[in-house]
Every structure is written in C-alpha cells, then in structure tokens.
C-alpha cells in the first residue's frame, strides 16, 4: 500500500463481491457513482471488501462498466463529452434483451445508481410506448383480473385513448 | 446462470416507468388490470407531480383565430423541443361563451372563460384538462350575482381574469378583477379569488388604481401579471402583479421603451419560468418592418434586464408570446408564425 513512488496519486481501490462470488476491483471514484456504495464507504470508512448479495456478477459488471465510463468523463470538463456520454448510453441500452434489461435495472435500483436507473427506465418506457394493452400485459407478465364486461366498460369510457 | 426475470417490481413500474408515458397511454393502461386501474385513476398526487415534472416546459399552447370557418378559435400545441405542431384542440363548450378567452394555463390545466368585454359576470368559468379531455365548471363566484356586486347607477365595464399556480401552497388560483363604472365614468375596482384546493371564492384587496389595458395574464413564480395603465398615455403603463400567496397586489414599472413608437407589448413566461416582456417597435428605416425586443425580470432586484433586440421582420400583426429558447410567436393575418432567434440567450 504505502508506495514510495511520488508520481502516482493514491486512488483507493474497493473490492466488490457479487452474489455468485465474482469480485471486482474498482476505483473508489467509480464505485461511488452508486449511491448505495457511497453510503457504505462513508459509514464504514475503512472497509475495502463490500459484499453485494443481491446482485449477480454479470450485471454488477455491466453496472460498473457504465460507472467507469461516466466517472471518467466527469473528470473531463470538456463539453463535447456530454454528447459522447449520450451516444455511449444509447449504444449501451440499444441491444439489451428484456431479461438483461430487467436484471440490470433491478441491480441499478438496488445500488441506487440514479442516473443509470433513469436511463434504463426510459428504455423500458420506450418499449411500451404506443403498445396495445395486451402487449403490455405480456411485457410485465400481468394477468387481467377484471370481471367480464368491466374491461369493456373502461375502454368505452375512454374510447378516445384507444383511437 | 442467472434465473430469467420476467417482470419488474410494481414500485419500479408505477413510480419510475409509468410517469414517463404520455397521458393518452396512461388512460389506455387503466384496462391492464385492477391494481393499475387503481393506481392510475386514484387520487395520486405523486404520479401527477412526477408526470408534470417529467413533461415540464415541453409544450407551448397558443390560442389563435382559425383561418377557416366555422370555429372561431383554435388551440395549437407546439413542442418546445422539436418545434412541431403536436395537436390542434377542440375547445369544450365554445358555443356557451359570447367571446371565448383563455384566462390562463398551468400544469396542463387550462382556464377558459368569456371575453373581458362581455360584461356578464354570470357566464361560466371552466377548468379544462385537454390531455385527459375532462373539464369542470367552477362554482359561482361572489361577483357572479350582479345584485351583490354593483351599486345603483353602476355598470360592469370589463372583467379580467388571471390563473396561476403557487408551488408552496400547491394550489391553483384564479383571480377576477371587475371594473365598475358609476356616474361620470367613476371607476371602482373589485377583485375576488378562487382556490382550487378549497373549491371556494373570496374577495381580495383592491388593486392600485388603474385602467385595464391588456386582459392577458401571465403567471410566473406564483405571481399573476397584467399590463395596465393609470392614465391615457404610454407613460402611465405598468405591470399589475398579484401575489397568489400573500393575496395582495403589487406594482412593477415597465422597462424603458421608446414610447413614441411602441406598437405592442406582451408579457410571457420563459422556458426557465421567468417573466419576460416582449415589445414591438417599427424599424427606423422602413416603418412597415418591425423590430422585436425582449426583457426578462430579475426577481431579486425586481428590475427588467434587456435580453435582445431582433429584426427587422416584415410580417407581424400581433405578438402572441415567446419562449426564451429564442422562439417568438406571432400572428399574421390568421397565420401562426414563429421567429427562431439563433443566438442562445444567456441567463
């Protein structure tokens, strides 16, 4: 730890341990993009190994990849970076299948990665925007619990919204 | 391997995902299942406020004369981000009014009533939510009964309205100013206020002596504003303010404008929620061409700051309003026009 070299600034490294035992070594500045980690670091101080029993390694890795990108770009105050970040975010969510997207969102939510939750919920919203009611039931695996006739009544009352 | 995840927790769906959808989708989604219906139709302030916050400042609503018969008025919704026409709206109960007027709009609620010149205080005042296609008439106001309001020998001149929202009170309020003329044209002014929270009216303090000039009210930061005058020349113009929380009137002087040539002034709310004033003057070189000037109000100092002067423009009949992203909306012989100022405005 205590290196005598003076050129390297001391960046503290944290060990994050996922539910399946996979560990990640990340810079503190990257990991603290996540509100939950930030709280743990502030509260517990010296703890270097953080166990995250609710997040699987695959998705923790993806969350950290996002954090790394955004932490790096934050240190650069260049305005063009904003555009680069947006572009990168777009690519990041573009080809996610539904299962990965849901897992990733749950992980980001659990870790309080507010900006990432924002990005992912917007993606889910864009998937259901303009979709039929039946398709939305399918997207969230919801069974209609209306009695016969009740659903028709709601549709009739709001017929303009179904046009 | 991770187990497949087929759905998301209700909390995430309700609080993070649904508020991102347009109102029309949310109305449709009531028929997904009972919990969704309860969430979407219940008295849910959280959903409403999140929805408003997510969609804030996205649209500009403009009421203008329609170019074609039969309807006299049209309401056009423009997207601020993409500068496209989003919707053309039908006004409910237009035929109930002699001359329909939009008293104001905020948070997606539009207050519709009759023109200031109708002189009929009993005409309905309607709160309209165009995105939900719902409307309701306000209860009768204190001054809606002429007998209680007007003294012998008095007649009602104009009735001016202002509609706004106060974020701290979390209340939408409507102010109504009545101009009563007695013998020898002596003017008496009375004012009353409606609160949506209590669904009731009460009389409020008298404003400064003034004559009404432009019935258009602009609400910004919990304060209503009208351009009025206390005399016969432009020198006497000022902005009458009504603080929705303190329930009192204030006076704000106009910025310095070359008085000789002022053709029209208009208040507007900028995209940042500031009050701004737009004025139109003839161009020095050619009188038919016009210049447009914009100020915005520095609330701390209660003073106007000049933002820009642009032009000349050949075709301006009437100023309608502006967004301080640099858009200025105009009317020209029944056409809706927009000038986009390319220069980005500094705060």
- Which residues between 219 and 238 in chain B have a beta carbon less than 8 angstroms from any beta carbon of chain A? none
Question: Cis (ω within 30 of 0) for the bond into B70?
Answer: yes
CATH number at residue A55: 3.30.710.10
pLDDT confidence bin for B262, thresholds 50/70/90: low
Maximum CA pair distance of chain A? 78
Q: Is B113 helix (H, G, I), strand (E, B) or coil?
A: strand
- Domain membership of residue B129 (yes or no) is yes
B205/B265 same-domain check? no
Q: Which of B225, B254, B283 is the last residue of a domain?
A: B254
* Closest-CA residue to B239 (of B259, B255, B258): B255
Model pTM score:
0.74
Who wins on pLDDT, B113 or B32?
B32
- Cα–Cα distance, B265 to B283 (Å, whole number): 15
Tokens of B260: 């000789």
Give me the residue label for tokens 């997606």.
Answer: B108
B276/B227 same-domain check? no
- Cα–Cα distance, B284 to B332 (Å, whole number): 21
B315/B231 same-domain check? no
For the segment B229-241, the average pLDDT, to the nearest whole number, is: 82
- Domain membership of residue B81 (yes or no) is no
B270/B246 same-domain check? no
> Helix, strand, coil proportions of chain B in percent (round to 5)?
15, 45, 40
For the segment B177-203, the average pLDDT, to the nearest whole number, is: 91
Among A100, A118, A121, the residue to mutate for chain B (most B Cβ within 10 A): A121
Among B3, B4, B5, B131, the residue to mutate for chain A (most A Cβ within 10 A): B5
B239/B174 same-domain check? yes
A109 touches chain B (CB under 8 A): yes
B267/B199 same-domain check? no
- Domain membership of residue A148 (yes or no) is no
Residue B14 C-beta-side C-alpha neighbours within 13 Å: 16
Which chain A residue shows the shortest CA-CA distance from B26?
Answer: A161
B12 touches chain A (CB under 8 A): yes
- Cα–Cα distance, A153 to A94 (Å, whole number): 38
- Domain membership of residue B244 (yes or no) is yes
- Domain membership of residue A7 (yes or no) is no
Query: Structural domain tally of chain B?
Result: 3
Range of the domain at A58: 13-142
Range of the domain at B208: 109-254
Who wins on pLDDT, B85 or A33?
A33
Which chain B residue shows the shortest CA-CA distance from A152?
Answer: B31
Q: Taking all residues of chain B, what is their mean pLDDT, rounded to a whole number? A: 80
- Cα–Cα distance, A90 to A92 (Å, whole number): 5
B41/B153 same-domain check? no
- Domain membership of residue A34 (yes or no) is yes
B313/B180 same-domain check? no
- Cα–Cα distance, A34 to A114 (Å, whole number): 8
B31/B163 same-domain check? no
Q: So what's the pLDDT on residue A73?
A: 58
Q: So what's the pLDDT on residue A3?
A: 44
B9 touches chain A (CB under 8 A): yes
H runs (alpha helix) in chain B = 10-12, 23-28, 34-41, 45-54, 146-149
Nearest-Cα distance to chain A for B135, in Å, is: 14
B239/B321 same-domain check? no
Residue pLDDT, tens place only, B276-287: 888 888 777 766
Among B20, B23, B28, B90, the residue to mutate for chain A (most A Cβ within 10 A): B28
Tokens of A36: 């939950």
Tokens of B16: 């993070």
How far from each other are the two terminal CA atoms of chain B, in whole angstroms? 52
- Cα–Cα distance, B278 to B267 (Å, whole number): 6
Q: So what's the pLDDT on residue B1?
A: 54
Residues of B in contact with A22 (CB under 8 A): none
**A-B C-beta contacts closer than 8 Å:** 78
Q: Are strands A13-18 and A49-52 parallel, antiparallel or unpaired?
A: parallel
Residue pLDDT, tens place only, A91-142: 999 889 999 999 999 999 999 999 999 999 999 999 988 889 999 999 899 9
- Cα–Cα distance, B48 to B19 (Å, whole number): 8
pLDDT of residue B77 exceeding 80, the answer is no
- Domain membership of residue A88 (yes or no) is yes
B7 touches chain A (CB under 8 A): yes
CA dihedral for A71, A72, A77, A81, sign (positive or negative): negative
Residue pLDDT, tens place only, B204-222: 988 888 888 778 888 888 9
- Domain membership of residue A73 (yes or no) is yes
A59 with B34: Cβ contact below 8 A: no
pLDDT confidence bin for B293, thresholds 50/70/90: confident
For the segment B187-201, the average pLDDT, to the nearest whole number, is: 93
- Domain membership of residue B117 (yes or no) is yes
For the segment A38-56, the average pLDDT, to the nearest whole number, is: 81
Q: So what's the pLDDT on residue A133?
A: 92
- Domain membership of residue A160 (yes or no) is no
- Domain membership of residue B278 (yes or no) is yes
Q: So what's the pLDDT on residue A39?
A: 86
A145 with B34: Cβ contact below 8 A: yes
Residues of B in contact with A105 (CB under 8 A): 8, 12
B247/B264 same-domain check? no
A140 with B8: Cβ contact below 8 A: yes
Q: So what's the pLDDT on residue B344?
A: 45
pLDDT of residue B70 exceeding 60, the answer is no
Q: Which of B254, B283, B300 is the last residue of a domain?
A: B254
Query: Structural domain tally of chain A?
Result: 1
* Assembly ipTM: 0.85
- Domain membership of residue A3 (yes or no) is no
Give me the residue label for tokens 């008496």.
Answer: B188
B146/B180 same-domain check? yes
């Amino acid at each position: 730890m205590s290196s005598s070299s003076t050129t390297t600034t001391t960046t503290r490294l944290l060990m994050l341990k996922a539910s399946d035992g996979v560990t990640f070594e990340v810079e503190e500045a990257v990991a603290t993009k996540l509100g939950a980690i930030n709280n743990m670091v502030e509260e517990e101080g010296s703890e270097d190994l953080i166990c995250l029993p609710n997040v699987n390694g695959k998705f923790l890795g993806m969350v950290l990849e996002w954090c790394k990108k955004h932490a790096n770009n934050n240190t650069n105050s260049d305005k063009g970076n904003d555009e680069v970040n947006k572009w990168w975010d777009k690519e990041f969510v573009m080809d996610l299948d539904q299962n990965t997207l849901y897992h990733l969102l749950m992980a980001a939510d659990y870790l309080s990665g507010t900006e990432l939750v924002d990005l992912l919920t917007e993606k889910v919203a864009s998937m259901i925007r303009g979709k039929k009611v039946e398709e939305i039931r399918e997207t969230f695996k919801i069974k209609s619990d209306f009695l016969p006739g009740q659903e028709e009544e709601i549709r009739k009352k709001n017929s303009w919204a179904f046009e | 391997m991770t187990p497949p995840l087929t759905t998301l927790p209700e909390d995430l769906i309700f609080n993070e995902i649904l508020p991102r959808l347009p109102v029309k989708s949310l109305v449709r989604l009531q028929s997904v299942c009972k919990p969704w219906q309860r969430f979407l139709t219940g008295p849910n302030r959280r959903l409403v406020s999140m929805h408003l916050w997510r969609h804030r400042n996205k649209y500009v609503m403009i009421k203008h004369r329609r170019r074609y018969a039969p309807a006299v008025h049209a309401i056009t919704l423009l997207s601020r981000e993409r500068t496209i026409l989003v919707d053309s709206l039908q006004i409910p109960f237009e035929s109930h009014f002699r001359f329909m007027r939009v008293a104001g709009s905020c948070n997606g609620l539009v207050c519709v009533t009759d023109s200031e010149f109708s002189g009929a205080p009993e005409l309905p005042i309607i709160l309209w939510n165009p995105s939900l296609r719902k409307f309701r008439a306000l209860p009768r106001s204190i001054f809606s009964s002429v007998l209680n309001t007007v003294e012998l020998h008095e007649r009602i001149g104009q009735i001016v309205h202002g509609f706004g929202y106060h974020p701290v009170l979390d209340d939408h309020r409507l102010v109504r100013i009545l101009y009563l003329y007695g013998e020898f044209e002596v003017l008496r002014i009375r004012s009353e206020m409606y609160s949506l929270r209590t669904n009731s009216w009460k009389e409020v303090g008298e404003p400064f002596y003034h004559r009404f000039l432009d019935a258009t009210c602009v609400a910004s930061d919990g304060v209503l504003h009208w351009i009025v005058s206390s005399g016969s020349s432009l020198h006497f113009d000022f902005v009458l303010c009504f603080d929705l929380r303190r329930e009192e009137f204030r006076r704000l002087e106009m910025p310095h404008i070359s008085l000789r040539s002022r053709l029209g002034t208009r208040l507007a709310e900028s995209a940042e929620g500031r009050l701004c004033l737009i004025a139109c003057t003839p161009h020095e070189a050619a009188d038919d061409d016009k210049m447009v000037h914009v100020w915005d109000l520095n609330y701390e100092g209660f003073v106007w700051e000049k933002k820009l002067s642009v032009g000349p423009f050949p075709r301006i009949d009437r100023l309608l309003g502006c967004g301080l992203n640099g858009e200025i909306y105009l009317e020209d012989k029944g056409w809706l026009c927009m000038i986009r100022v390319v220069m980005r405005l500094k705060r």
